[in-house]
Structure 1
Amino acid sequence: MKILIVSDTHKSHKNLDKVLEIVKPIDMLIHLGDVEGEDDYIQALADCPAHIIRGNNDFFCDLPGEEEFFIEGFHVFITHGHYYYVSMSEERLKEEARGRGADIVMYGHTHKPSITREDDLITLNPGSLSYPRQEGRRPSYMLMETDQSGHAEFTVNYL
């Protein structure tokens, strides 16, 4: 299974269009918030099941603030992250994810990609496709790929 994970597109979808041209076909799209009204466009563009949540800049929308679901046996918890103060550290978010029994937690908000692997939890942030803040400021996204044996690989990719 091939899953595209993105965040913080902030109403600018040209880089998402480029990424989808590069990585398609995908089996699922996960958008971790700050779509700013572009959720219908993103859903249609993905042409596959999509999980899109609300970020701190998604006003007056019906998107959920958080979701939990399973991917190939992995319990996944997704949130934008701002309610867990992820700009300061991942600790509150990790505590919440563990309390929910999640295997993987995904968040956005910081515009900086990161992967943290611990024995009981994998924490992912794809960064931002529109306004990256990490050194070099290259737009970033993640791919999650699972195999038949239930193994998952995660990669940070840049445009």
Structure 2
Amino acid sequence: MKLSEIKTILATAKSINFQLENGETIPGHFHVTEVGIITKDFIDCGGNVRSEKVANFQLWSASDYEHRLKAGKLLDIILLSEKVLGMEDLETEVEYQSGTIGKYDLGYNGRNFLLLAKRTDCLAKEACGVAQAPKKVFVNLSDSAKSCTIGGGCC
């Protein structure tokens, strides 16, 4: 989810809720402790130099159970981050403590922001010799079913 999409949602939202893919909700007294830019420069396994840049939110649940972050306040934090950090309209990831610091993609289901599991992938499959999955060939059974007769051996 891009930063601009988050800002559009926050502009009209009454409250902010975060939910994990398994349905578990982030406690309502969470804090957004960081809004920033993460830049990753790396070489993939095929020797290609790559660079990625994402907007990053860090969520933290503390013991101050009366804390409630309002949508407008988070929007203000994002706007300040854009101004001070020169933040672009980047894809957003979220860090959240669950056993260890987890990194999540961000989605929205019309009610809650969703923390979506990130997946690793080989970025240079052709250089590594990782075979691409063969394309599946689908047969239109309705065509053969029209010409199928009882005892004809087609079923």
TM class, shorter-length: under 0.3
- TM-score (norm. length: structure 1): 0.26
- TM-score (norm. length: structure 2): 0.27
Kindly name which structure, 1 or 2, has the bigger radius of gyration based on alpha carbons. 2
